[in-house]
Each structure stands twice: as structure tokens, then as C-alpha cells.
Amino acid sequence: MTKKRVLITGAAGFLGSHLCDRFIKEGYFVMGMDNLITGDLRNIEHLFGNPDFVFYNHDVSKFVHVPGELDYILHFASPASPIDYLRIPIQTLKVGSLGIHHLLGLAKAKNARLLIASTSEVYGDPLVHPQNEDYWGNVNPVGPRGVYDEAKRFQEAMTMAYHTYHGLETRIVRIFNTYGPRMRLNDGRVLPAFIGQALRGEDLTAFGDGTQTRSFCYVDDLVEGIYRLLLSDYAQPVNIGNPNEITINQFAEEIIKLTGTNQKVIYKPLPTDDPKQRKPDVTRAKTLLNWEPKVSREEGLKLTYDYFKSLPPERWNEEPYGRDFKK
């Protein structure tokens, strides 16, 4: 029987690389695509030489073509952390607009089902807590985070337009804070930042007074939810995340305990438009997909810390980019 074929954009990134692994495990032929602006080939080098995997170094903001039949597309190409999209704001907007347009056109031409990676950031700094899929959000379109928030909101609108106008099979996952092996320690998000600081013996840096909340989902749980959503028949957005909410101060205490360090927490001003609360309502995922997170934060953090600790110490201090992008 011919293997089903899936294109995964952002394949060399944190989430994209885990998705490549999952689809190969499920018996698919996987085409990975990434321009490596924030991705890292080390995340997928174990797949090179696998007959069920091929990699294209390509920017989806430019015209996208892949040979042969295509069953599924997962669009995970995008800068995903503030340090990324504040440094490369235009690329962030382009991958969420031009990129999704190209991939929707490819999906239409190939008669493929397309799943897009949206984000909890479409809710902005929410006035509703927890956030469910019917909440329209509280987003500042011209603030520093607007380049990411609005790129993802446009991406959702464009995807839904192709679904309703062309009858294209589409799926939308709204991803909440996710963590696990292959994150970049320097990507600016609190979990890898705290672990990187602990490894380097630095004090942990919290922003604001540390009372803002986050909800952390282990990557394996997220990938399971995405896989189930892709194969479902539901086209409206679905939250995937872990509703176990924690303050940044509590989280810092957990990291200090986990790493056995005696660092203190230092505080810096809260960045503009940084959300004060973040907690998914995952009722829709539970009801439609029979999905809920399984990995406890204690277990997931240990797996993640052990991964980072196993890396060569020079990786703990890597700069975010090997190249500078100005286009």
C-alpha cells in the first residue's frame, strides 16, 4: 500500500521536528520544509537517510511546490517567541500571510487537507479566563507583539475563507505554552530561559512581579492533540494546551528545586502587552477528540531538564541566529 504523504513546514523547529517524528512513526512519508531562520537542522538530523523523509530548504513566503501527491499539510513555519518576532517582524508577518496563501493554494491544487498552527496569542492579553475558542481576544494590532498576534489571526481568517469558499479541508489548532526537548534555550520564553539560566549558574529573570500565570503543556501531549485534530472532521479552531495554571514565581521555585541550584529570582519590567493570564479551556478538545494532557509538569520538566543538561555546555550559550535577516 502506498504511504500517505505529509508536508510539514517549520520542520526543523521545536514543534515541527517532533511532528516529523510522529508522522514517520505512524507510517507516513514526510516532506519537511524550513528556511532555517529560527529552525535548526540538528533537530532533524536523525531523520536524514530515512527513506520516508525528505527535506526542502525553502521559505514558504515564496511560491511552494512539492512533487507528487500530497495528503496532508501542517503549517508550522513561523517565528514563535518574542525574541524571534521582535527581531524579525516582517518575516513573521509574511509567513502568516504570504506563507499561508501559498500553502492553501498548494492544498487546493493537490486536494490535500491543511492544518495550521495558530496560537493562544490570538486571545492577546485576555479579558476572559480561562480562554475558550469563542472568545475573540484583546489584541493590540500596532504593539510590538502585534506582528505575531495579527499574523496568526490573519492566518486563521485566510484558512477559514478557503474552507468556506473553496470547500478545502482545513483544521486550526490554537497552541498554548508548550515545552520539551529541542526548544532553544535562548528563545526568550520563560521555561527555556529559566532552565538555561540555572544551567549557567545565573539568577532567574522574571518580568513584572511574577504573579502573571502560564499553563505549560508537554510536547508529546500537544503532538497527540494535533494528530487527533488533523484526522478529525472538525474545521473550527480547537485549543490544545494544559489547563494546569501556575504563576511565574511558583514556576521559578519549581525550576530551582529541580536543578538543585541556589539562584535567586530577579525582576525586570513587564514587556509591553505581555499577557497577565494564560489558561486554555480544553473542553472542546476533550469532547471532540477525546484528548487531554497526560504528562505532569513534574515529569515533563525532568525530561526537558535532562535533555538540556545532556547537551554540550557551549550549546547553553548559543546566540539566537547564525545569520541576520533584514528583508
Asked whether residue 86 is domain-assigned, the answer is yes
The pLDDT assigned to 261 comes to 80
Average pLDDT over residues 144-163: 95
Average pLDDT over residues 50-77: 97
Asked whether residue 112 is domain-assigned, the answer is yes
- The C-alpha atoms of residue 43 and residue 288 are separated, in whole angstroms, by 31
Best-predicted range by mean pLDDT (99-108, 119-128, 140-149): 99-108
CATH number reported for the structural domain that contains residue 55 in this entry: 3.40.50.720
Asked whether residue 135 is domain-assigned, the answer is yes
User: Is residue 277 over pLDDT 80?
Assistant: no
Asked whether residue 171 is domain-assigned, the answer is yes
Radius of gyration of the chain (CA): 19
Residue 176 burial (10 A CB sphere; 0-12, 13-18, 19+): buried
User: Is residue 273 over pLDDT 90?
Assistant: no
Look at residues 78, 77, 34, 38 and name the one whose alpha carbon lies nearest to residue 54: 34
Stated pTM of the model: 0.94
Asked whether residue 100 is domain-assigned, the answer is yes
β partners of residue 113? 72
**Which has the minimum average pLDDT: 4-13, 106-115, 146-155, 313-322?**
313-322
**Degrees to nearest 5, angle at CA 121 with 120 and 125:** 110
- The C-alpha atoms of residue 102 and residue 279 are separated, in whole angstroms, by 32
- Contact indicator for 245, 212 with CB cutoff of 8 Å: no
- Contact indicator for 246, 213 with CB cutoff of 8 Å: yes
SS3 of the chain: the string is: CCCCEEEEECCCCHHHHHHHHHHHHCCCEEEEEECCCCCCHHHCHHHCCCCCEEEEECCCCCCCCCCCCCCEEEECCCCCCHHHHHHCHHHHHHHHHHHHHHHHHHHHHHCCEEEEEEEHHHHECCCCCCECCCCCCECCCCCCCHHHHHHHHHHHHHHHHHHHHHCCCEEEEEECCEECCCCCCCCCCHHHHHHHHHHHCCCEEEECCCCCEEECEEHHHHHHHHHHHHCCCCCCEEEECCCCEEEHHHHHHHHHHHHCCCCCEEEECCCCCCCCCCCECCHHHHHHHCCCCCCCHHHHHHHHHHHHHHCCHHHHHCCCCCCCCCC
Q: Return the higher-pLDDT residue of 232 and 279.
A: 232
Asked whether residue 191 is domain-assigned, the answer is no
Extract the C-alpha cell encoding 137: 481576544
Which structural domain, as residue segments, surrounds residue 45? 5-182+218-242+279-294
Q: Work out how many domains the chain is built from and give that number.
A: 1
Which residues are annotated as catalytic? 148
Asked whether residue 207 is domain-assigned, the answer is no
User: Is residue 58 over pLDDT 90?
Assistant: yes
Asked whether residue 229 is domain-assigned, the answer is yes
**Which has the minimum average pLDDT: 1-5, 124-128, 131-135?**
124-128
